[in-house]
Structure formats: structure tokens, C-alpha cells
Amino acid sequence: MKHIYLDYAATTPLHPQVLEAMLPYFSGEFGNPSSVHHYGQRADHAVELARETIAAQLGCQPHEIIFTSCGSESDNLALRGAAWAAREQRGANHILISPVEHHAVSQTAEQLAALFDFDLEYLPVDEYGRVNPAELAQRLRRDTAIVSVIHANNEIGTLNPVAEIGAICRQRGVAVHSDSVQGAAHLPIDVNTLNVDLLSLGAHKFYGPKGVGALYVRQGTRLHPSQTGGSQEFGLRAGTQNVPYIVGMAEAFKLTQDHLDAHKAHLSSLRDHLIGTILEEIPDVRLTGHPVERLPNHASFVFEGVDGNHLLMMLDVEGFACSSGSACKTGYPEPSSVLSALGLSHSWGLGSLRVTLGQHSTAEDVTAFLAVLPRLVEQSRKII
């Protein structure tokens, strides 16, 4: 049976050119970048070259890039590091985030509230999961430590007006973070255009390896390390750098960012065909996320009276790999916090389906998917 991968928001396959770039650092080039000798210098050079490559793409200085072990770690460091530093520096106590953040942001903020007594506030979002910059401006306080608003949402594809949000925060002297782990695979990322102080990246969402990420930290942004030990990464992240993965991340980021326009044209035409056909041919379905301000590869839906996890399993049996936004934690399925934040009722929110396309997706893949989906949705509805 042919398997068709439609889950590029979960992860992407490694680009062959990225693997090629990584390979020497698994064998001959094995030095520790912190070592003084020749071996160390060669490894250090590779890490610094990768830092320069990523900085050039983001429009920042190399020393503003901190390598981490993943997108989640970047989010953790941004939130925890900025909150701790702002409290120490000026007694700031308030954390302001959107209700549609990735768990790496929201769970970190929840922990800062529970264990460190920060005052956590959620911004309102509209029915598409977008933050209104004016609403943010009203909620900023003198003691706000950090604001975090996701750039491109992983579950519903919606893009946030990060540049406007960033401008407001920076004018008020409040550090602003954006999780661009999804965005970086599809959108130009210039940290000055986006007006952010902190920005998270994760390599495996843009055809790089799993287990490596980066955090952009604008010069002057106060941050405490949350992983302490050696003085690697300018003292902001202790631990010997993962040299092959860092080299791979830089290669993947450059490849992706250099071909954004071509990929966008390919992906958005497939996506539009997918969305148009599903909305037309299947009854009681809604698009989730913004109809226009959304990732070019991202189609997400809710079907009324469908168990999203059941639909995923039926799709898998037919060879299609997709995703859903509902997690079955204790036997009682619950819509995800993102879908709940959109104001969807339980009977709609449980029937979510996310279809995300990538560089290897073809028109034939989409046609094959559209040929089976209506029948599977109908079958799924009979079971509930």
C-alpha cells in the first residue's frame, strides 16, 4: 500500500543536502567546540559558521543566536529566562501570552505562575485565533515581564500580527517573544521587521534534524540561563554543543529561506484546492484558523459529530498520515486548548483534522486524499 504523508507540521524529512552537510561531524570532525586545540577549533569554527548563516537569514548579529536542543527548549528559555531576569531587574511580575500558544510556551508560563508566583494573563483572540494588537496594548502593565504571541499557529495555521505586537511592546520597554517554529518554514523571518526581542526556531520543522533549535535574543534583552553549567552559548545555555545538528540546522534554514517563494506557490495552490473541495463536498464542516492569514501549507478543519482520533485511525488504515487537535488523555477526549480558545463547542471541537503539506506533496496526493475523506467522515459520524 502507498503511504501518503500529510503531517509536515508535525515534522519534515531531512533534506539530503542537510544530511550531507552533517555527516563529517559524526566522524572525523568530532572535536569539542570548547577545546583549545586543533580539533576543538575546527568544531568551534563549524558552530560559528552556522551561527553566522542563521544570523544573516534573520537580519541579526551572530552573538544574538543561542543554539538549543529543540524548539521547546527555545520557548522555555525565552519565557523562563526573561521572566526571571525582569523580576530580578525591576520586580516585574506579570506574564502576558495568547491562549493559542504551543504547550512549550503555555506550560512554561503556567509553571512560572504556579511555582514562582508570577501573575499570568491570557490575551483574548478572535474566532480565527488572532491577537488584536490594541487589546494587547490595553493589557500591558508597568510590571509586565514578558509577552509571548505565536507567529504561525501549529494547529490552525493562523498568522499573528507579530510586527505590530512587537512594536507596541518594544515601545513600552517590555520584552516580546514569538514562537516561530512553524513560521520559519514558510515565512521570511527578519527580526527587525518582526520587532521581536526573542524568537524561537526548531530545525525539524524545516527539513533539518530533530533535536536542535535556536533562540534569537536581541542584544540588550536581559535573560537568565535556565540550564546552568559551562559558559557555552554566551553563558545562556550550558552544555557541549551538538555540532552535527547545529551544522544541519543552518544548512536547512538557508535552503528553506532561499526558496520560500517557489515553495509557497506550490503549497498554497495545493492547499487551496484541498480546502475548497472539502468545504464544498462535505456537510457540517468548518475551516479552523484564518481563511487568508494562514500558513501556505496548512489546512485544518472541524467536522461536527466526528471523533477526530477515530478519523485519524481510519485515514491511517487507508495510508494517509494526518493529525488532529484533540488529545485523549484519560479516556475522555477533550478538544485542544487552541480549539477551545476559538470558542468551538465540544461537539465541533472533538472532530478536528489537520492536513499539512510539504515539499514532497503532489497534486496526486491531494486528489487521492480527497477521494477517500468524504466516505471516512460519513462512516465516522455513524459511529458516534
Nearest distance from C-beta of residue 263 to ligand PLP, angstroms: 17
Query: What part of residues 273-292 is at the interface with ligand PLP (CB under 6 A)?
Result: none
Contact between 300 and ligand PLP (CB under 6 A)?
no
What are 326's strand-pairing partners?
A: 335
Half-sphere exposure of 182 (CA within 13 A, CB side): 25
Residue whose C-beta lies closest to ligand PLP: 71
- Sole binder of ligand PLP in the list 202, 209, 325, 335 (CB under 6 A): 202
Residues with catalytic annotation? 328
> Does 31 engage in binding with ligand PLP (CB under 6 A)?
no
Q: Report which of 244, 237, 178, 236 is spatially closest to residue 210, judged by C-alpha positions.
A: 244
Residue 126 has a CB neighbour count (10 Å cut-off) of 13
The contact mask relative to ligand PLP for 61-80 (x = CB under 6 A, - = no) is ---------xxx--x-----
What is the chain's length?
384
**Complex with ligand PLP: residue 140 or 150, whichever CB lies closer:** 150
By rule CB under 6 A, what string of x and - marks binding of each residue 82-111 to ligand PLP?
Answer: --------------------x-x-------
Options 144, 158, 182, 300; binder of ligand PLP; rule CB under 6 A: 182
Under the binding rule (CB under 6 A), the answer on residue 213 touching ligand PLP is: yes
H or E element, residue 320? strand 320-321
Q: How far is the CB of 117 from ligand PLP (least distance, A)?
A: 26
- Least distance from ligand PLP to the Cβ atom of residue 19, Å: 18
Nearest to 73 by CA among 271, 226, 297, 228: 226
Binding interface with ligand PLP (CB under 6 A): 70-72, 75, 102, 104, 150, 154, 179, 181-182, 202, 204-205, 213
